[in-house]
Copies of this chain bind each other. A is one copy, B any other.
């Protein structure tokens, strides 16, 4: 229990009332924009609210009033009946939500922009204000040092859904490195020797593991890695396009491209299409993630399936253990597996 017990004291309506020299009811009136408050009084209360950074406690409001300050977004989730149709975050939400409901918990979703330097404060406010029992952090946020450090200071239970290790933090991850090696060996076993790799965004640790796996797989297959065949992308489709343009105009073309994720692989497919390079006859392409797009491009993409929903379920279970104050068994791993489709074949010769 005491893990959530940080020293931060949040101002209550009483604090505001005594500072403004009025009763709590008057503060309540101001906060709720009710009529019949003298402008001068209102002003004083607003100033006190500002000074104390007061924000009303949602639970108390819900309990006392007949408003809940809560509304629902109800939507059909096709992943319930169509296999792997949703994207990463929808799956993670689904897994977390399922476990949360089982445990009588509610889930607060909090999308944010990890480029924004204000994101640390944003999350601090979330933790301190919403009285959260714990949180789940996904990549790339799970690798942003200042965020992780701030959460350590506030002693918030955190599970990082990420393969990157941070001292003192628990995480669930996938066997990205091992399965990437497997994919690389698979390509080599088809007869490919000039196998290119497209790196992901350096902030995404998962993708670093994928690169390591590529290197492992190459050496396990007795192949030499050519520096020019390992190129930097940033996870986006567009970066896949950029890299592919460079790769597919080299004198000595690669016969296979293994991209750090499906989006970049789709970019390669698009460039190949534009240049009239036939996939898989002239070029094999493999991705990673098994997102819906991998089945919807032509040819369909050989990739690696990430059990994202299960990953989130596991992460949520661990978070509950942490909240209950139980010891965790260290890092937990969920295994991914190859999905062979039409974009890979033996090289033509």
Contact = CB atoms under 8 A, between A and B. Distances in A.
A112 B135 CA distance: 23
A274 interface: yes
Interface residues of A, number: 85
A295 interface: yes
A168 to B, nearest CB: 18
A335 interface: no
A77 to B, nearest CB: 3
A319 B68 CA distance: 14
* Interface of chain A, main secondary structure: mixed
A71 B133 contact: yes
A66 B4 contact: yes
Contacts of A106: 58, 69-70, 108
A104 interface: yes
A86 B113 CA distance: 13
A108 B69 CA distance: 11
A287 B55 CA distance: 46
Contacts of A326: none
Nearest to A262: B296
Contacts of A80: 111-113, 116
Interface in A76-121: 76-77, 80-82, 85-87, 89-90, 92-94, 96-97, 100, 104-116
Interface stretch (A185-193, A219-227, A264-272): A264-272
A290 to B, nearest CB: 14
A62 interface: yes
Copy number in the complex reads 2
A236 B114 CA distance: 32
A319 B298 CA distance: 42
Please indicate which of the listed interface residues A74, A136, A298 has the most CB atoms of chain B within 10 Å of its own CB: A74
Interface string A274-300: 100000000000000000110111111
Interface stretch (A20-28, A45-53, A123-131): A123-131
Given A59-B59, A67-B133, A73 B274 contact: no
Contacts of A90: 87, 89-90, 111
A40 interface: no
Contact of A130 (B72, B77, B131, B272): B72
Contact of A109 (B73, B140, B293): B73
A273 B299 CA distance: 8
Interface of A: 1, 4-5, 55-60, 62-63, 66-77, 80-82, 85-87, 89-90, 92-94, 96-97, 100, 104-116, 123, 126-127, 130-141, 236-237, 263, 266-267, 269-270, 272-274, 292-293, 295-300, 319, 323
